[in-house]
Amino acid sequence: MAHNKETKIRFFNEGIKYKVKNIRVLRLWITTCANRESKQIGDINFIFCDDSYLLNINREYLKHNFLTDIITFNNSENNSIISGDIFISIDRAKENAALFKQTTKKEVRRLLVHGLLHLIGYSDKTTKAKKVMRELEDTCLEMLIKNNPTLR
């Protein structure tokens, strides 16, 4: 399951300026994480936004009235090919990074893989599910650094 022309992983900004660096490396990494779970990448859009944009999505589509760092919409039509839109609040990412004494860049990478895991079918609704998801995030993040030591 190599990275091919059919694979579409895109990065967008909605109402903010946020620059994703090493896009080629990140696309390959995201694809590798999906392949580890026996999934292929269809169309995945990562949309970076601010708290108010994501809060509006949370209210309108999920009927939740609270801030969140990520919302994932699964658009997959096939169990083995994953597609979807992943909205990430850079405001939340910055706040969480400070809270966990982490760089924003590392927190955003965790959110990228967190969203991917949601598309694959993982949940974080229970303590046990959260633990599994966190371990998978850590494994994927370690793979990124191991294969690209300059991204530390």
Taking the chain (152 residues) in runs of 10, the rounded mean pLDDT of each run is 63 95 95 96 97 97 95 94 97 97 95 98 96 97 90 80
Residue 1 in any domain: the answer is no
Residue 53 in any domain: the answer is yes
Range of the domain at 44: 8-151
Say if strands 8-13 and 40-49 run parallel, antiparallel, or are unpaired. Answer: parallel
Would you state the pLDDT for residue 7? 59
Would you state the pLDDT for residue 6? 54
Would you state the pLDDT for residue 3? 44
**Cβ atoms within 10 Å, residue 59:** 12
Tell me the backbone φ, ψ of residue 74, rounded to 5 degrees: -85, 120
* CATH number of the domain encompassing residue 66: 3.40.390.30
Residue 2 in any domain: the answer is no
| Number of domains present in the structure of the chain | 1
Would you state the pLDDT for residue 151? 81
Give me the amino acid identity at 136: L
Residue 124 in any domain: the answer is yes
Residue 3 in any domain: the answer is no
Instruction: For residue range 76-92, list pLDDT tens digits in order.
Output: 998 899 999 999 999 99
DSSP 1-60: ----TT-EEEEEESSS--PPP-HHHHHHHHHHHHHHTT-EEEEEEEEEE-HHHHHHHHHH
Residue 47 in any domain: the answer is yes
Helix (H, G, I), strand (E, B) or coil at 90: helix
Residue 77 in any domain: the answer is yes
Helix (H, G, I), strand (E, B) or coil at 110: helix
Residue 15 in any domain: the answer is yes
Would you state the pLDDT for residue 51? 97
Would you state the pLDDT for residue 1? 40
- What whole-number distance in Å separates Cα of residue 124 and Cα of residue 134? 9
Would you state the pLDDT for residue 114? 98
Would you state the pLDDT for residue 2? 45
